[in-house]
Structure 1
Amino acid sequence: METLTTPPSPELESILRRELMTGERLLWSGRPDPSRLRAVFAIWFFAVPWTAFALFWEAMALLPWMASSHTPLGIQWSFGIIFPLFGLPFIGIGLGMLWMPFKARRKAAQTIYGLTDRRMLRVTAGTKRESASVLISQMGPIDVTADADGYGNLRIQTGTRIDSDGDKITERFEVFGVPGVNQLESLLLEQKTPA
C-alpha cells in the first residue's frame, strides 16, 4: 500500500480494512484535514444575521410579558404566546446553521478514504459507521483542485439522472481535503486505464 500522508489513526485504518472485499488490495488511504475546511464557515454570512434577527424577533415578541403593567391582558395572552412560539423554530434553525461548520469538521476528523484495485471508498466512523464506495468501472471524468502544498479535493463523476423537474443532475463521489491529491489522481487513473 502506498500512503501519501501521515498514516491515519490505527482505529480508522482498521475500520477501512474491514470494508475490503476478499482479495481486494488497498493501494492508498488518507484522511481529510479538518482544519482545511474553512469554506464551511461561509454559511455564517447567512447564519449570523438570521440568528440575530430571530433573537431580536423573540425579544420583541416577549415584550408584552416584560411590560405587563402597560399591555392589555388580551394582547398579553394572545400575541404574547403566539409570537414567541412562532420565533422559536427560527432560533433553532439559526443555531443549527451556526453549528454546521463544527459538525462538518468533526465528521472530517472521523473520515478515511481508501483506493483499492477495485474501488474508491469513504468510511466515516462517528456514532454510527457510514460507508460509500464507487467501483472503478463506474467512474467517469475526474476533477481535481489542489493547493500549492498538495492538499485538495477530487470529484469523480459517477453518472447522471433526470430529477422530477426534468433537470439533469450529475452524480459525483467526492474526496475532500486530502493531502497529495494529485498523486491520488495518478493512482486512480492507473487503475482506470486497462492494462
Structure 2
Amino acid sequence: MMLPTRLQGSLNNELNDGETILWLDQPIASRMARGAWPIVLFGIFWSTFCAGWMFFTINMAMKTPADQAGLFAWLFPAFGLPFCIIGLGMLTSPIWVRRLALRTVYVLTDQRAMIISRSFGKTHVRNYTPEKLNDINRSLNDDGSGDLIFEKVISSHTHTHRNTHSLGHGGHRAGGGRSSRTRTSTTTYGFKCIKQAKQVHELIDGMVLASKPVAEQD
C-alpha cells in the first residue's frame, strides 16, 4: 500500500537488515475519529460553561464605572481563555484523531510488531517482540474489523489538597490537615481499528510460533 512519503521514510529507517514485512496497514481513520465523539459531547458542556463565564465577567466589567473598574476588571475575563482553548480542542478532537490515524502505520514483520506514527515533525515507534505478543486481547465488529490490544498501561495520579478549617466547640479551629485522592487511567496500545482483525491475529500467532525454537513449536 502507498503510505505518506515521510511515514514511508520512517518505516524504512526502522526496518533491520533482512527483516521481512508480513503485513502492514493503517487504522481506519473514520472509525478512529468516531471514537472521539464522547470527548466532543463533554467539550460542548465545557465550552458552554467557559463561554458563559467569560460573557458574565465581561458584562460585569462593562457595567463597572470606569473610575472603579481598573485594569484587573478587564484582565479577569482573560483567565477563561485557556479553558476556552481546551474546549475548542475537545470539540475538534475527531479532526485531530483522524489526522493522527492518517499518519500512523501498523507493521508486522518476521521479527516484531510495530506501531509507527508521526506527529509534530517527530516519529514515534512502539515495538513488540514475539514474547510480548502471547496475550493479545481481540475485539471484533460485525464487518470483521476490530482491535488487537497488545499492552495496557495503568497510570495513577494523586491529587493532594489542604482541608479547610472549621470552628469547633469553644471557637477553636477543627479539621485542617491534608487529604489526597488517587485516580487511575488505563491506556491501551496495539493495532486498533484495523480491517480483518481475526486474520491479522492469526498472522501474529504464526510469527510468534515461528520465532520459537523447533523443540517448542510442537
Q: TM-score range by the shorter chain?
A: 0.7 to 0.9
Q: Relative to 1, partners in 2 of residues 1:8 and 1:153: Cα closer, same or farther, differing over 3 Å?
A: farther
Q: CA deviation at 1:168?
A: 9.7
Q: What is the deviation of 1:125?
A: 3.2
Q: Distance in 2 between matches of 1:171 and 1:55?
A: 31
Distance 1:106 1:10, change over 3 A: closer
CA distance in 2 between partners of 1:82 and 1:164 (Å): 32
Aligned to 1:55, which of 48, 51, 61? Answer: 51
Match of 1:128 in 2: 122
Question: Structure 1 pair 42/172, CA: closer, same or farther in 2 (3 Å)?
Answer: closer
Structure 1: gaps of 5 or more residues? 1-6
Greater shift in the superposed pair: 164-173 or 124-133: 164-173
> Residues 99 and 19 (structure 1 numbering): CA distance in 2 closer, same or farther, change over 3 Å?
same
Specify the alignment match of 1:4 in structure 2.
Answer: none
Q: Considering only aligned residues, what root-mean-square deviation do their CA atoms show, in Å?
A: 2.9
1:175 aligns with 2:191: yes
User: Structure 1: how far apart are the matches of 2:30 and 2:155?
Assistant: 36
2:39 to 31, 38, 43: 43
What residue ranges of structure 2 are gaps of 5+ in the alignment?
Answer: 159-181
Name which of 21, 29, 44 aligns with 2:16.
Answer: 21
2:137 aligned residue: 143
Cα distance in 1 between the residues matched to 2:88 and 2:21: 40
Worse-matched range after superposition: 134-143 or 55-64: 134-143
Taking a change above 3 Å as real, the CA distance of residues 88 and 171 of structure 1, as seen in their structure-2 partners, is closer
Distance 2:187 2:146 in 1: 19
**Equivalent in 130, 144, 147 of residue 153 of structure 1:** 147
Task: State the TM-score, normalized to the length of structure 2.
Answer: 0.73
SS in 1 for 2:17: coil
Say which SS state the counterpart of residue 125 (structure 2) adopts: strand
The answer to whether the 8 A contact 1:64-1:75 is kept is: no
1:61 deviation in Å?
0.7
Distance 1:57 1:162 in 2: 32
Q: Which has the higher strand share?
A: 2
Q: Tell me, yes or no, if the aligned pair for 1:134 and 1:173 is still in contact at 8 Å.
A: no
- CA deviation profile, 1:100-145 (whole Å, cap 9, x unmatched): 2211110001111100111101111343222221111233410111
Alignment: residue pair count: 185
- 1:134, 1:183 → 2: CA distance? 18
Aligned-pair CA distance for 1:172: 5.0
**By how many angstroms is 1:15 displaced?**
3.6
